[in-house]
A and B are shown apart, each in its own frame.
Chain A
Amino acid sequence: MLRDLFRIFTTWKWKSLTTSLLVAFSGLILIVIAIISLNNYRLTVDAAEQNSQVYIQEIMRQVNTNIQSYIDNMENISLLALTNKDVTYYISSNSFISKSDSRPYEKRISDLFQNILYSRNDIASIMVFGYNGRTVSDRRITALNPNIDPKQQSWYIDAQKMNGKSIVSPPHIQNVIRGEYRWVISLSRELKSNDGITPEGIFVVDLNLSVIDEMCSQIYLGKKGYVFIVDGTGNIIYHPQQQLLYSSLATEEIPQVLSTSSGQSFTVDDTKGKRIYSVQDTGLGWKIVGVTYSDDLIANKSSIQHSILLYALLGIGISIVISLLLSLHLTKPIKRLQRDMKQVELGNFHIQTSLEEDNEINQLGQSFNVMVNEIKHLMDETVQNSEQKRKAELLLLHAQINPHFLYNTLDSIIWMAEQEKHEEVVDMTSALAKMFRASITRDQELVSIRVEIEHIRQYLFIQKMRYREQLDYVFDIPSHILHYKTVKILLQPFIENAIYHGIRSKTTPGIIYISAWQEDEQLIFEVRDNGLGMSAERLAEVTQGTVATNTQHGIGIGNVNERIQLYFGTTYGMTMTSVLGEGTIVTIRVPVIL
C-alpha cells in the first residue's frame, strides 16, 4: 500500500494541467474555507462569550434581587419593631419603675420576635437594646455574653451614627448572645421615641450568613467559576476563598472590581487563566461579582472548534473531489486531443478527434481534424504522385529503348548493309548509338536541354535516313538555353507523332520545325509540322488522352503532359493546336531550371 502510494507519488505528473488546475482550485478553496472557518469560529466564540456574559449578568442580577429581598425582609422586620407600640414603650426612658411591670411587655415583644423567627429560618436573631439598659430578644430569656459589650460592636455604633436609618453590616460573628457564635449579617437601626427625635435604643436583626453562602455557592458559573461580594471600600463580604485571601495565598482583582460600574464586566488573564468578572451593584453599596473562567466555556469552545474544523475539513474534502472532477472534466478534451495527436505522430492519419463540447478546445479539435485531413490528403496525393511517376518512368524507359523503333532502325541498317551502303550504315549505327547514349546514360529525371536536343537530333537523323526526302526538319534552338534542365524525353514523343501521324502518310514531303525560346521564367518548346493535321474532334480526343497515341511504340503525349505537371506543377504543360490538312503545333511550357 505504502509502496503503491510512493509509486503514485513519484510517477504523478506534477506539472500536468490537471494537477495545476487541481492545486489552484484546492488552494483557492482551502484559503477561502480557512478564512471563513476562522472568522466563523471567532464570531461564534465571541457570540458565545457575549451570551455567557449576558447570562452571567442576569444571574448576578438575580443574586442581587435575592440578597435585596433578604435585606428588604430585615428592613421590614425592623420597621415592624419600629412601629410596635410595645417595643417603643419598653425602651422609652420614662416608664416602668419595677422589673415586674416590664415583664409582660418583654414577653409580648419576645413572642412577636419569635413568631417572626419561626416563619423565617433565614433570620438568626432579633434584638433590641434600649438606651435605658433594657434588652429584649426573640429568646425568652436573653443571656448576653458577659464578656462582650454590645455598645462596642460596630453594628451598634454604626446604627447610632445613621440617625434612625438602617444599616447593614458586613458578615461577622454575632457574639453578644452567650454561647452562640453565629456568622450573620446584621441590619441595625436606632429606634426613636414617639416624637421621632429622641433616640431610645438600637434594634438589630441578624441574617444567617449561610443563606448568602448557600445562594452564592449554588450558582453554577462553569466548573471553576464563583461568586464573591465586596463592599464599597473593597472589603470582602463573601468569597469562597476568603481565608486564602487573608493568608495572601490568593488575590482578587478588588481595585478593578471597585472601578467597574454595575452591569459591566472586565477580563483578567493571568496565571490562573483567562476569566471574566461581571460586576453588579446592590442597593447596599456592595458589589456582587461573578467570575467565569474562559476555559470553562472550553467544553463549549472546543466543541465549536471541533465542529468548525470538521465542517471545514468536510468542505475541503468535498471541494478537492469537486475540483478533481472539474479539472479532469476540463482537461479531458485536451487529453483526448493529446492522445489523438500522439496517434497522428505515430502515423495514423485516419484519426478524427471527437468534438463534444462547444468551446475553444472544440475549435482546436476542429482545426486539428482539418489539419489531419489535409495531411492525409497530401499524403495520399504524394503516394499517388510517386506511383504515377513510377509508371511514367516505366513508360519512359520503354520509350528510351523502343523495341519497335529499334527493330525498324536495325532493319534499315540491314537493308543498307545489303545494299552495301557502308557509309550510311556507319552513320546510322553511330546515330543510333548516340541517341541511346543521350537517353539512357543519364539516370536522373532532369537532363540538360542540350542532351535532350542531341537525343532528338540523333533520332531525327535516323528517321531521315529512313524516310529520305519524305522527311525534313529544322532546329531553331537558341544556344543560351541549352544549359537549362528539363525532364527527359520531353520532345521526342511529339516528333514521333509528327512523323508517324503527320508526315509518313502524306504524299508531299513533310517538314518538322523544332524551336525553343525563353519567356520570362518559362521555356517554351514548339514542335510544328506541316503534316496531315487533325480534326477538332480528333484533337480534343488526343489532348484529353482518351485515345492512346503511340501505345505500341512510344509514350503518349498525355504521358508527357502528365510528367511535366508532376514535376513542375499544373501551370506548366503541353498545348496542341492542329488544322486538318495543314499540320499540328505542339507547344510545351516548362520552368527555367538551372
Chain B
Amino acid sequence: MRNQRIIWWIAILLVAGALYIISYFVWFTSAHEEEGTIMIILKSNSPQSDFWQTVRSGAEEAAKEKGVQFLVSGPLDDTDINSQLNALQDALTLKPRAVVIAPLNDQRVLNGITRLQNAHIPVVVMDTPLPVNNAPSSVSSDHVQMGMQAGRMAAYQTNSAPYVAIIGDYQSSSIFKAREQGIKQVLGAVAHSHTTTYYSGESEQLAYVLTTKLLDEYPRPNALIVMNEPIAVGAARALKERHLDSMMFIAFDSSFYEIELLEEKTLDALIVQKPFNMGYLAVQKVLTDSNSLSSQHSITMIPSTVITPTTMYTPENQKLLFPFYEK
C-alpha cells in the first residue's frame, strides 16, 4: 500500500516534470527562433550610387522574403578600403548567420573574407568573383556575356568588316578584362574583324582626346565600345564634334549622361547589368546555401540586357535604366 503511494507520487512528479519541460520550450524556444541576421557589405553604400542602392534594395527584398533580419554597410566611397575592412571585422565579432559582400579589390579585403570562411560564416561574393583559392560562392553579372552582347551589336550594325575600338578604364580591371574577352570572342568569329584596345582610366578628357585621335586615323574604326560613363561622355563629345552618327557607339552600364546620349541616339546601345537581381540572388544564395557550408562553391551569372534608343522606355528597361528604390 505504501509502495503504491510512492508510485503515484512519482507519476505525479513525472507529469509535473513533463509539463514544466513543455512550458519551458513554449516560453523559450520562440525567443531563439529569430537568430537570422545577415550582413550585406556593399562596395559603396552611397545614396548617390544608383547601382549599389539598387543592389541593396534587391538584397533587402530577398532578406525580407526569407523573413531574415539584415544589416547593410559599406563605404560611402568605393575607394575607402578601411571602411570595408571595418565592416568585415564587425562581421567576425557579430557572427551573423551569413555575409554577402561586394569586395573592393584589395588583398586585405580578401583576407578578411577568408577569415569569415574560417569562422564558418557563410559568405557569398557579389559583383566580382574572387581571384583566390577556395573562393566563396559568387553572384555577379556575366561580364563576358556583356562583352559578347556589345561585340554582337557592333558586328551586327557594321555589317561586314567590323573595326572595333575598345576603350577601357584600366588594364588591371578584371571586369574590363572579362568584357573585352567577350567582345573579342564574338568578333573573332567574324571575318575581317579587327579590334584595338585603349585605356583612358576615368578621365573624360583623355577619352575625348583618344577618340578624336581614333577618328582621324585611317582606317577609322566603325564601332566604339567604351567601358564607363566618363569615357562615354568624352567619346560622345568627340563624335558629336565630327557629326559621326554612323559610328556604332556602345557603352556599358547606365548613368544620367549615358541615358541622355542614348536618347539623342549618339549612343547606339547600352549594355546594362541587373543590380537588383544581383542583390536579390546573392542573399537568396547565401541563405539557401548556408545549410551546406561545404566546399561546393558555385558561381551565379546574371545575364545583362542590351538597351537601344527604341527599347529604352519599355517598362522592363525603364526599371533598369532608372532605378527606383526606397531612399
Contact = CB atoms under 8 A, between A and B. Distances in A.
A433 interface: no
Contacts of B61: 240-241, 244
Contacts of A317: 15-16, 18-19
A412 interface: no
Interface residues of A, number: 49
Nearest to B320: A243
A217 B280 CA distance: 17
A224 B67 contact: yes
B52 interface: no
B275 to A, nearest CB: 9
B313 A172 contact: yes
A419 B88 CA distance: 155
A324 B264 contact: no
A365 interface: no
A94 interface: no
A307 B30 CA distance: 12
A217 B326 contact: yes
A363 interface: no
B276 interface: yes
A181 B327 CA distance: 16
Given A175-B263, A223-B67, A317-B15, A243 B277 contact: yes
B58 A243 contact: yes
A147 interface: yes
A310 interface: yes
Contacts of A594: none
Interface string B52-71: 00000010010011110000
A303 B12 CA distance: 26
Contacts of B274: 243, 247
Given A175-B313, A313-B18, A317-B16, A324 B318 contact: no
B10 A8 contact: yes
B7 A8 contact: yes
B11 interface: yes
A62 B260 CA distance: 39
B25 to A, nearest CB: 8
B149 to A, nearest CB: 15
Q: Which of A179, A247, A320 neighbours the largest number of chain B CB atoms within 10 Å of its CB?
A: A247
Contacts of A175: 263, 313
B70 to A, nearest CB: 12
B8 interface: yes
B64 A223 contact: yes
A173 B322 contact: yes
Contacts of B18: 313, 317
Contacts of B58: 243-244
A302 interface: yes
B265 interface: yes
A328 B4 CA distance: 10
Q: Which of A12, A235, A249, A314 neighbours the largest number of chain B CB atoms within 10 Å of its CB?
A: A249
A210 B323 CA distance: 12
Interface of B: 6-8, 10-12, 15-16, 18-19, 22-23, 25-26, 30, 58, 61, 64-67, 256, 259-260, 263-265, 274, 276-277, 280-281, 303, 313, 315-316, 318-322, 324, 326-327
